Structure formats: structure tokens, C-alpha cells
Amino acid sequence: MSLSPLLLLFLSFLSLISCEPVQDKFALLDFLAQAPHSRDLNWDPATPVCNQWTGVTCSDDESRIVAVRLPALGFNGQIPPNTLSRLTALQILSLRANGFTGAFPPDFANLTNLVGLHLQLNSLSGPLPSNFSAWKNLTVLDLSFNNFTGEIPVSISNLTQLVALNLSNNSLSGEIPDLQLPNLQFLNLSNNELNGTVPKSLSRFPKSDFADNNLTPDSLLPPTMPP
């Protein structure tokens, strides 16, 4: 489904007189048209996106959309490609507690300004993105309570601003990579199928952050030499 040319023309005209981020608005309308949902949203094409649309926040000058928060609106199916990823000024994206399925959207790599990405409590599956390097400004990444599989990508180490990382309650396997994340304060890798041992770089975090995995208990490790 796509917007009709007439509607596009009408919206473009509106944007001329109202100076709103019309391309971003089209991206949201395309998203809504392609993503089945059970709760109504007040995203009326004829109303200004910046101050009236539920869950949408614009930049101060109203030139771009910078935050989209759509928690628990009964969305399901795949996250439609080439819709949200066109909101390239986005800093906060929350789709938490919906029923989204399918893979982690590869086109989210275009959202290079993301500071917070909240996809927890959905049914997303398949591997995590192998290359996290696109999201240099990411401080909060919550992918918990999904069905992600495969290993934790070592490229998460490139997220130098990361403060909170929650990958709990997925089906991630393999060993936990040596993640160099100096700013990390909150970690939760519990409820996965991770094995091996907790790497030194993450040993400052409490044991509960790694609970319910297949990790080798400390008692089975060879004793370390006293300094």
C-alpha cells in the first residue's frame, strides 16, 4: 500500500504553508499503512505531525522527526522495510511491547543518529546485526524478550557511548565476546543459551546479569594465581 498521488500533492501543499517535516511524515504514513495494528492512532494526514501525532516528537525547529515511541499498540507482522528507516534524524525509537515478528530490520543501519533503540518485548528472531558500527551514538539498546538467535556480535564493542545493554530472554548462544564498553552501567544477558565464561571486560557486573545461561560455573575454572 502506498499513498495516492493526489494525497501526496495535498500534503505537499500543506507542508508548504505549515513548514513541517513532510518527507518524515510520509515515511510514518507509509509505516502505518503497512504495519497491521490493533489500537487506533490519531495520525491524520491533515493534522500537523509535530504537535498532534501520538508518539511523535520533532526537533525544536520542527524540521525533522527525532523520536518515535509506539509502545503496546498491538502492532504485528514484520517491521515494514524502507519506512521508519527513512527517518534519518531519529534519536529515539521505541517499538516495545508489540507483536513484531521477522528479522532485525537491516535498513535500521541508516538510522545513524539513534541514541536509544527499544525493541524489547516483541517476537523478533534470527541473528543480531553483525555490524553495529553504524550506531555510534547509541546509549541504550534493549532487545530483550525477543527470539533472537546466534552469537552476540563483537561489533557491539564499537558502541562506545553505550550505557545500557539488555539482551536478556532471547536464544543467544556461543561465548560472550570480550566487550570493551567503558561507559556501560546496566547489563542483562540472562535467560539465553550463552556458554563459556564471563569475559574479564564484563566481570564488574553482578552474576545475576548472566543468570540462566549455560556458562561454566566458577568452581570448574582453574584457580587463578595470587598476585
Ligand X SMILES: *[C@@H]1O[C@H](CO)[C@@H](O)[C@H](O)[C@H]1NC(C)=O
Q: Which residues contact ligand X (rule: CB under 6 A)?
A: 82, 85, 106-107, 109-110, 112-113, 120-121, 123, 131, 133-134, 136-137, 142, 144-145, 147, 154-155, 158, 164, 166, 168-169, 173-175, 186, 188, 190-191, 195-196, 208-209
Least Cβ distance, residue 61 to ligand X (angstroms): 15
When the beta carbons of 53 and 124 are compared against ligand X, the nearer one is 124
Residue with cell 539482551: 167
Least Cβ distance, residue 50 to ligand X (angstroms): 21
Least Cβ distance, residue 107 to ligand X (angstroms): 3
- At residue 194, φ and ψ (nearest 5 deg) are -70, 145
Instruction: Return d(Cα 205, Cα 197) in angstroms, integer.
Output: 13
Query: What is the Cβ-side half-sphere exposure of residue 174, based on CA atoms within 13 angstroms?
Result: 12
Instruction: Return d(Cα 111, Cα 47) in angstroms, integer.
Output: 25
For residues 146 and 170, the answer to whether their CB atoms sit within 8 Å is yes
When the beta carbons of 50 and 97 are compared against ligand X, the nearer one is 97
Instruction: Return d(Cα 35, Cα 18) in angstroms, integer.
Output: 27
- Outline where the chain has alpha helix (H): 5-18, 22-34, 49-52
When the beta carbons of 29 and 143 are compared against ligand X, the nearer one is 143
When the beta carbons of 53 and 67 are compared against ligand X, the nearer one is 67
Least Cβ distance, residue 63 to ligand X (angstroms): 14
